[in-house]
Amino acid sequence: MGNSHSTTPTMRRTETVQTRFQALEIWKSDTTTEFRVAGAIHASYHRKRFLTGLAWDLIAAAALLRTEGPPRSVLMLGLAGGTAYRMLRHLLPDCRLTAIDIDAEIIDLARTHMDLDALGIETITTDAYPWLENNRRAFDVVFDDIYLAGKTDVFRSRTWDPELLVQLRRAVAPGGLLAVNLVTGTGHRTMQSHTRKVLRAAFPSVRSLTTSESMNEILVAGETVATRRRLDAYAEAFHDWRDRMYWERIAVRKLPA
């Protein structure tokens, strides 16, 4: 995921778990649980609030930029603790949420520590890209958030090559959106630049979502992508002032040709 700092100053590490795919630290405070991998926050859960100021806010916001209206179905490649889906379930209670994640152990940990089952997600535990090759279902929003953990940083397991783009686009319903989470900063600029280029060449409209607290950029592409104004309609759904503050800080910009 690539979120590099905690949103809560009183966290303490309670457990370290080695799954088949990553070394995971569980950090907790009285209200918050975080999964941390390679020094980055991989998932976050707060018992009373939804937004974090980090990449998950951008992921949830990107799914709302469909010009034909709120999505009726969303596919997430890479789930972890389901942080972005918790926001979307709050905003879109009737939306069909589907997720693919290779790490069954982190899903079980999210069920135990982050109340994942309450979100009503269709969870498929498998390698996302091979699953995508055989997929024939279509979704209003398809989101690629696949990162693997190295010893000191996270990395994408596959470059957005033409074959992968075809498979992703096939999963997007007419009028839908394709989005990707990109970690920014040193060591990630080549992947960020390449993905921007691929999306600009493939879609008429591409927008970039960022926020000052996050070391991530979300790119969302389609025939048309709504502007920042579309997010304003959802601000009242957040009752805590911190959630509203983080929501207002989300920047949506057109990616230049």
Which has the closest alpha carbon to 60: 48, 71, 45?
71
Nearby residues of 63 by Cβ (< 8 Å), 6 or more positions away = 71, 74, 88, 141, 143, 177, 179
Supply the pLDDT for residue 182.
86
Q: How many CB atoms lie within 10 A of CB 165?
A: 17
pLDDT at 153 over 60: no
Supply the pLDDT for residue 152.
39
| Both structure tokens of 101 | 């994640």
| Both structure tokens of 184 | 């920014």
Domain 50-254, CATH among 3.30.930.10, 1.10.10.10, 3.40.50.150, 3.40.50.300: 3.40.50.150
- Tell me the whole-structure pTM to 2 decimals: 0.88
pLDDT at 255 over 90: no
Mean of the pLDDT values across residues 169-180? 95
Supply the pLDDT for residue 2.
53
Cα-based torsion angle of the residue sequence 12, 18, 82, 54 in order, rounded to the nearest 10 degrees: 50
CA angle 152, 156, 162 (to 5 degrees): 160
Q: Where are the domains of the chain?
A: 50-254
- Rounded Cα gap, residues 257 and 245, in angstroms: 31
* Residue 28, burial from CB neighbour count under 10 angstroms (0-12, 13-18, 19+): middle
Out of 3-17, 209-223, 241-255, least confident range: 3-17
Amino acid at 179: A
pLDDT at 192 over 50: yes
Nearby residues of 123 by Cβ (< 8 Å), 6 or more positions away = 79, 98, 99, 101, 107
| Both structure tokens of 181 | 């989470």
| Both structure tokens of 170 | 């096939």
> Taking all residues of the chain, what is their mean pLDDT, rounded to a whole number?
88
SS3 assignment, position 181: strand
Phi, psi at 146, each rounded to 5°: -90, 115
Alpha helix positions (H), 203-250: 229-232, 241-248
Supply the pLDDT for residue 3.
57
Distances (CA, A) of 92 to 45, 47, 234, 253: 18, 19, 10, 24
pLDDT tens profile 40-67: 888 999 999 999 999 999 999 999 999 9
Supply the pLDDT for residue 4.
47
pLDDT at 6 over 70: no
Q: DSSP per residue over 116-177, as a string?
A: GGGG--EEEES-HHHHHHH----EEEEEE---EE-SSSEE-SS---HHHHHHHHHTEEEEEE
Supply the pLDDT for residue 222.
96
